[in-house]
Amino acid sequence: MKKILPAVISLIFWLLTSAPSAAYPPLLPLHVEDRRIVDANGSAVILRGVNVNQLGDYFQANPKVPSTIPLTRQDFEQMASIGINSVRLIIHWSALEPERGKFDAAYLDRVKEAVGWARDNG
């Protein structure tokens, strides 16, 4: 009996660890569950967000005066440091496609850069 019990326990552990796991799709960092936004652990998440408008295309009465200040990595670092965990990045179609059928690659690069800075800061 002393030799059988450890063998049975070992067999049970082996069967449990070698059983195929159910194939579930990976969860996104945040998702909706019962009308709440939750993280991968099912804990409710409170979003604290701001609008970031520096990539917008705004009317300028005086072209010498910029319509917004430049967007930088430090902006996202500062937002994260004060607890901001979501950003609505303003993107204007007039900046994306300044002429019909011609997209501005430099503008897309600026958007990609801003998204990267946001991602890097959580």
**pLDDT value of position 26:** 54
DSSP notation for 67-121: SSPPP-HHHHHHHHHTT--EEEE---HHHH-SBTTB--HHHHHHHHHHHHHHHHT
CA distances to 35, 63, 64, 116 from 60, rounded to whole Å, are 42, 6, 9, 28
Spell out the domain ranges in the chain: 4-120
Tell me how far apart the alpha carbons of residues 114 and 47 are, in angstroms, rounded to a whole number.
19
pLDDT at position 115 over 60: yes
Which residues does residue 15 pair with via DSSP β-bridges, in sequence order? none
Mean pLDDT of 48-59: 92
Tell me what the pLDDT averaged over the chain comes to.
83
**pLDDT value of position 100:** 96
Contact 37, 44 (CB under 8 A): yes
pLDDT at position 1 over 60: no
User: Which comes out higher in pLDDT, residue 26 or 112?
Assistant: 112
